[in-house]
Chain A
Amino acid sequence: MSQDSPKRWIAVVGNPNAGKSTLFNALTGLRQRVGNYPGVTVEKHTGTAFTLHGEAVELIDLPGMYSLAARSPDEEIAVKVLLGQSVGVPRPDAVLCVVDASNLERNLFLVTQVMELGLPVLVALNMVDVAEARGIRLHPDQLSEKLGVTFIPTQAHRGKGLVELRAALGQRLLKPGPRQWTMPPPLAVAVGQIASAWRQSEPSEMRPEGKALELLAGSNVGPDGARKLATAWRERFRKEAYDWSASVVHARYEYVRKMLGEAGIGSGKRGGTWTDWIDAVVLHPVAGWVVLVGMMLILFMSIFSIAAYPMGWIDGAFTWLGGVIQNALPAGMLRDLLIDGILAGVGGVVIFLPQILILFFFLGLLEDSGYLARAAFLLDRVMHRVGLSGKSFIPLLSSYACAIPGIMATRTVEDPKDRLTTILVAPLMSCSARIPVYTTLLAAAVPVALVPVWGKAAAMLGLYVLGTGTAFILAWFFRKKLLGGGSPPLILELPPYRMPSLQTVSLRMWERAILFLRRAGTVILALSIVLWFLSSFPNTSDDPTEKLAGSFAGQMGHGLEPILRPLGFDWRIGIGLVASLAAREVFVSTMSIVYHVGGEGEGLVTAMRSATWPDGALIYTPLTCLALLVFYVYALQCLSTVAVAKRETGGWKWPIFMLLYMTGLAYLAAWLVQGVGRALGFS
């Protein structure tokens, strides 16, 4: 192929969890997210790979699918790309099917469908090591001969077979021959007639049989004659109670089984006995919950105990930097901006990086080990009671890291009402941006020295449980009362357990750290500067408290105080609440600026603990801290979440609803905490 030829586009398709993204990463050198559960990839990604001859080809990594009959938004994305209906991506010139060699029967079912798209096909026989460990004897040559397309054995995670794959990509890929599975007689007659009518109208149509099947399935795209015939056959099949689509699936599977039998490829022994042993514990109705809660408790204990050391180092570094600036610059606006604005704001948030990385380390272990699908299984009973299936729990669990990937992950949920419900409650799952707020307020509520690590972990766990429990209750309300309809049954593939890859987990932590620091260096830095300005001007007094009270921010806070007073919040907290509308963690940076603490974590807590109302009463009583914590559990203080919800729901209606109900809930809950707490005699 000459240098001037247009680049070839090759779609990478396969069943969920077949290793598509791992192979895509290995071929392109990119770092798409991978994991050991079905549905990691929910969006198409493109990357350039090079053949052995140096030809550049564009690979399109697609979400996993079990068949071309798409039922969920992520599968729709994949099918649209394959049919050339995706905006911004040309119809692929060829397809690279990635199949799990230990599960050929089901994976080849999809391959037989892809082979009928009229495109050249290459098959990567992935995970051959797993297949061999299960005693499956693979015969790639025989598979190639029988199916008429090339099969290349690979182990994407170990980089094996990539040279052969690059070589095959450089050659002219084979276009599959005519359909090999036998269409059942009644359907064959119908498809023959419809395809013939289509060909009469459009002789250039390359795959009239496939189009005929699509018309039978309800598609409305095609020549009039073919459409009318399809409608008549559909009606006839309905009257005769003939389930033609079932007969197609059945016929394909029969063909695949027969072909595998002829090639001498068995299904092997059931692999992963140790997977069954682990499952016996983690899927047990009692022990499974003990394991789940125990793991969460260990996670939160680690967040407080292990993270304390690096947090101390970061705190020390910012304190040192503050000292350097203090000594180097004369007193004035620039020094104030650097110390009270930038260092206080950015430092106040960056200090929480270790805690966030620990959260991602644990989530990475869960994802990469295969446990995530088990958690969904365990939660299915609870989810079913609230009108959802366990499948919705994976997006919700992802939301513990961040609601944005969580909401994106709802693309794997097939039922549209289930998906919408999951999107609406996903931001109630406590995300990593809440960690700085929770940690600061918990420390302000009770002196750190008085609480053992397990106590802090339990308090943190309590906040997560509060968010999750409320998400379930509201999911029940939204799904059963607002949207209506029954809940779908759970059908979920449970991948075998594997040792988590330290590289994959570290990569995810690294990406998260970069994202967090970039956010600190852009959004939080900008907001810190703006907030420093708003809290410093107009400069009406030399006394810091009076100066803040008279500033623009102070005036705004005072304006809000009548609304916030019933919650026990003063005007300074009001400034924090408004500033953190864009992102929750901005609350901590804002309070650092408001209390002039120059980036010292402990300094902020000390300042908050000594802050008083005009009558001398403490503001941050345990009760007020609890009300503020509850407010942050529920409030949708994240513009990015609103934006992604708008994109995923296709309009403003639901994001606005989400914003209103969460803000209302946050206010009401904080007011109740304050009211009930006072009625019980707490202050």
Chain B
Amino acid sequence: MSKNHSEGASLNLSQVGSGDEVRVRRLDCAPTTCQRLREMGFCENALVTKIRGGADLVCWVCGTRVALSARLAKQILVEHVDGRS
């Protein structure tokens, strides 16, 4: 009965380079925000491609572009699909 799908994910979405594909490991935000993120496709294990970075960023998830504020991106912990850290 563990809440974590991963332990030790230290990389967040804002730190990822544009064009990189990553897998969501954990969401670290307020419950309602987490729930909305999951419903929009950012659930644990989902594959996300960061299209553009900056103050706010744009991601490709579940077949759509979704804009996120940078502070929210910092609360989405991810890992590179190719195993990079």
Give the contact-size bracket for chain A: 35 or more
Residue A276, interface by CB 8 Å: yes
- Whether A493 pairs with B43 at a CB distance below 8 angstroms is no
Contact B55 A494 (CB under 8 A): no
Identify which of A69, A71, A186 contacts B1 (C-beta below 8 A): A186
Stretch from A237-245, A291-299, A437-445, A460-468 that touches the partner: A237-245
Min distance, Cβ B23 to any Cβ of chain A, angstroms: 13
How would residues 16 to 58 of chain B score, 1 for a CB under 8 Å from any chain A CB and 0 otherwise? 0000000000010101111111111101111001011011101
- The reply to whether B32 and A489 form a contact with Cβ atoms under 8 Å apart is no
Cα of A250 to Cα of B40 in the assembled complex, Å: 12
Taking a contact as CB atoms under 8 Å apart, the answer to whether B72 and A489 are in contact is: yes
Instruction: Report the Cα distance A146→B33, complex, angstroms.
Output: 31
Check A106/B33 contact, CB under 8 A, given A275-B65, A276-B51, A280-B52: no
Given contacts A69-B35, A103-B64, A240-B1, contact A270 B49 (CB under 8 A): yes
A197 part of interface (Cβ distance < 8 Å): no
Q: B49 to chain A: which residues have CB within 8 Å?
A: 270
Q: How far is the CA of A389 from the CA of B55 in the complex (A)?
A: 13
Chain B residues lying within 8 Å of A491, measured Cβ to Cβ, are 33, 36-37, 40, 66-69, 72
Is A279 located at the chain interface by the 8 A CB criterion? yes
Q: Are B41 and A496 in contact (CB under 8 A)?
A: no
Label chain B's interface by main secondary structure.
Answer: mixed
Answer yes or no: A458 CB below 8 A from chain B CBs: no
Given contacts A186-B1, A279-B58, are A390 and B39 in contact (CB under 8 A)? no
Contact: B40 with A66, CB < 8 Å?
yes
- Cα of A490 to Cα of B71 in the assembled complex, Å: 9
**How far does the alpha carbon of A384 sit from the alpha carbon of B68 in the complex, in Å?**
12
Asked whether A137 is an interface residue with its Cβ less than 8 Å from the other chain, the reply is: no
Taking the closest CB of chain B, its distance from the CB of A641, in whole angstroms, is 30
In contact, A494 and B65 (Cβ under 8 angstroms): yes
Contact in complex: A105, B62 (CB < 8 Å)? yes
A280 to B34, CA, bound (A): 28
Question: In the complex, what residues of B have CB within 8 A of residue A488's CB?
Answer: 33
- Chain B residues within 8 Å of A389, by CB: 69
Those 8 A-B pairs whose CB atoms lie nearest each other, nearest first: A103-B63, A489-B72, A490-B69, A106-B62, A494-B65, A249-B38, A67-B39, A489-B69
Q: Known pairs A104-B63, A246-B44. 13 more at Cβ < 8 A?
A: A103-B63, A105-B41, A249-B35, A270-B49, A376-B67, A381-B56, A490-B56, A491-B37, A491-B69, A493-B65, A493-B67, A494-B64, A495-B65
- 7 A–B pairs (Cβ distance < 8 Å), ordered by A: A69-B39, A103-B64, A249-B43, A276-B51, A381-B55, A491-B36, A494-B67
Residue positions of A touching B, CB distance < 8 A: 66-67, 69, 71, 100, 102-106, 109, 134, 186, 240-243, 245-246, 249-250, 253-254, 267-268, 270-271, 275-276, 279-280, 283, 285, 373, 376-377, 380-381, 384, 389-390, 414, 488-496
